[in-house]
């Protein structure tokens, strides 16, 4: 039996429906449990700075990610954690569905600082 590498493409960013599907499938969360978790992430405490959101707006049908967020996470990958060899030459851009309103961007961490704090704690 021969083995060979298989190329896998990353999945699109979460929308409201895909985050509900994956949280149910992988974590066995009910919809109410997911929305309780979402509320905690949207209003997470940051000590003296008051309330700081850890994720962007949760009710969205868009897979668009802002240019500032892409720049921020590319800097995080290239510099802080992995190195430039892990950075793709261009960011992945995903198409939203035809009927997507696209008023809000995809669900994601608010900043890479959120990722840095989490990564250092693991």
Q: What is the pLDDT of residues 22-78, one digit of tens each?
A: 999 999 999 899 888 887 777 765 555 566 677 777 788 888 888 898 898 888 888
| Catalytic residue check, 57 | yes
82: left (phi over 0), alpha (psi -120 to 50) or beta: alpha
Q: Which of 57, 72, 87, 100 is catalytic?
A: 57
pLDDT at 103: 72
Q: What is the largest CA-CA distance in the chain?
A: 59
Other CB atoms within 10 Å distance of the CB of residue 33: 13
Classify residue 49 by burial, with Cβ atoms within 10 Å: 0-12, 13-18, 19+.
exposed
Tell me the percentage of the chain whose pLDDT exceeds 70.
83
Q: Tell which wins on pLDDT, 1 or 19.
A: 19
pLDDT category, 112, cuts 50, 70, 90? confident
Q: Looking at the chain, how many residues does it have?
A: 122
**CA separation for the pair 88, 77 (Å, rounded):** 10
* 74: phi then psi, degrees, rounded to nearest 5: -65, -35
* Average predicted confidence (pLDDT) for the chain: 80
Task: Name the 3-class secondary structure at 85.
Answer: helix
**Residue 97 reports pLDDT greater than 80:** no
User: pTM score > 0.85 for this model?
Assistant: no
pLDDT at site 52? 66
Lowest-confidence region among 1-10, 22-31, 45-54, 80-89: 45-54
Q: How far is Cα 37 from Cα 35, in angstroms, rounded to an integer?
A: 5
As a whole number, mean pLDDT of residues 85-103 equals: 81
- Residue 22: the pLDDT is 92
How far apart CA 74 and CA 39 sit, in angstroms, is: 27
Give the residue ranges of DSSP H helices in the chain.
16-27, 31-42, 67-75, 112-121
């Amino acid at each position: 039996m021969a083995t060979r590498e298989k190329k896998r493409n990353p999945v699109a960013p979460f929308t409201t429906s895909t985050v509900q599907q994956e949280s149910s499938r992988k974590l066995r969360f009910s919809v109410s449990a997911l929305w309780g978790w979402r509320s905690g992430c949207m209003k997470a405490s940051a000590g003296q700075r008051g309330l700081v959101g850890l994720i962007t707006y949760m009710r969205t049908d868009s897979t668009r990610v802002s240019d500032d967020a892409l720049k921020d996470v590319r800097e995080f990958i290239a510099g802080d954690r992995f190195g430039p060899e892990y950075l793709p030459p261009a960011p992945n851009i995903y198409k939203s569905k035809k009927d997507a309103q696209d008023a809000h961007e995809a669900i994601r961490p608010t900043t890479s600082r959120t990722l840095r704090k989490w990564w250092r704690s693991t």
